[in-house]
Structure 1
Amino acid sequence: MFEYDAPYYFAGLPFTARQVPRKLAWLLGRGQIRQVLKGVYVDVRIPDTLELRVAAARLVVPEGAVVCGRTAAWIHGIDTTALGSEEFVSVHWTRESVETVEIEGLRLTSPVATAVELAMRLPRPFALSAVDAFLRTGMADRSALRAASAAYEERPGHHQSQDILRYADRRAASPGESWLRLRLIDAGFGVPELQLRVDGADRVYRLDLGYPEGTVDGRRLGLEYDSDQWHSGPRAERRDEKRRTQLEALGWHVIGVRRTDLWGSYPALELAVGAFLCQHPRLPRRW
């Protein structure tokens, strides 16, 4: 018997390596397994834990290598949405001398080293959302990131990393808020305030970000990222409309922004904000 004919088992059922593609499709279709890392699958009954992520990486990372990049960020607990447009994380590893930590016997770049690398290498919107996420976890702070980035001064991407670290903010509560903030900064509107508190008659409101200085008509501008998960459907839309009507009465004009507004090709967002702030946006868009 050839080595590749040795049986694999899932739920007690044997199959050979030659049957893997067909079996994977069958098991995925039946909802019995899920993909946790590109090329690595697990029984759906197994919870997503640090131990699972480390075990998955061990299956595909060469012996003696150091896990880095998006894979290291994923193991450190950063949401894949903040790391790129791909649903599942690819495997990244290095043999270079870098600052490392060890988790469950697996060597990977430290949170600070990982955040600096992503600030240099990811596309700008994902670079910012990744660094914001690291700051939000408390595993890294901005001063430590700036100090660590000095060692990469001659490396490609260093200029971008300095730009990203200048605007990174732990108060961003989601990747969408990070992307929205970068769009406003790129358009020349200045850095918006984050997590704005608005006191109402009987409740306190929180706005994702905005410009609290009064404009020509005395109103202030707030913007909110409306994710599909929490802001879809008639009930959610009625709730959002009621809330924004209440904020309007308190002197705030609120613009709700969807993912399609951020990633579409037309600069409708910049034009709407520019019209309210009486500023010409800086165009064309950078991303």
Structure 2
Amino acid sequence: MNEEQKQQGTGTGGDFEEQLRELLTEDAYTVRPAPVPYPAIRRRGAIERRRRAAAAGAALVTLAALPAGAYALADGDAGGPAVASAPKASAPPRTSTTSPTPSAASAGPARPATEDQLLDGITFEEATDGLKKCLAYDRARTGGPSGFRADLGAAEEYRIILAMNSTGDSNAPGDGMYVVAVKEQPKQTRLICNVKNGEASGLNTSVGSDDVPGAGPVMADSNGGKLYQQSVIDRGNWKLPFRWGAIGTVEPSVARVTVSYGGATSRAALDHGWFVASGVLNQQVTAAPRIKGYDADGKLVYDSDEDRSYEKQLP
């Protein structure tokens, strides 16, 4: 190889090395991560701070607009705005003819439709206590539910429709208090509870509807007789004065029920599908209460004297 060729080779090699270094340098810049976008981050931070400030201002306006007694619940996120919660308004009184469903959180049964269904100075609290004692008495007596009989449930499932004094007789000595309560679910249940000296002493229950084919719009309770009569052992020799009660079911078409007993007539209270009447006897009687039902126009739609299934005379 002559000198000229050596010089050309050297020059060619030098150019190649220079180009290689340039390519490597460009690749290094290509794979190097881009610089952190600090200006963009600062802009997002400023926007977020302004958003939180606006939200906090809105929360303060909301709190200022709430009535006295409102309270705030802290947001779960740190730095988040407070959420205001106002006290709940009380619900309007019921006007429906359907049976109310007692709240699971309530401490006791529902009240009767009228205060006139709590008689002889018996308070609702006393009636509730009597109902609880009778349910406990039933569980202790039967040992709880079995394959033949379901548990009667808890007091808060019921509605008290009557509370009144009870008069002792030869079959069940000692005066006390009757409490009548009903519930619709899971099955219609009616119980007549007798409390004496602060203890349950007797319980009569009916589970399931008493409706029979061809029954009228008013039906007296099949076991309600214990509320308006004394023992057959004392026939002709009742203890007087005698507080009596009469209960039964009514259809929605019935607007008024009257019960006549011992020469006096009482207008019954209508309580979510039940009628409840009461009075005081000052004389011995032999005829059962006479029950009449009327529609909204005042037309007679039921008369127990025309009801073949109703026992019109006392035993």
TM-score (norm 2): 0.27
TM-score, with normalisation over the residues of structure 1? 0.29
Q: Which has the higher helix share?
A: 1
Structure 1 or 2: larger strand share? Answer: 2
Question: Which of the pair has more CA radius of gyration?
Answer: 2
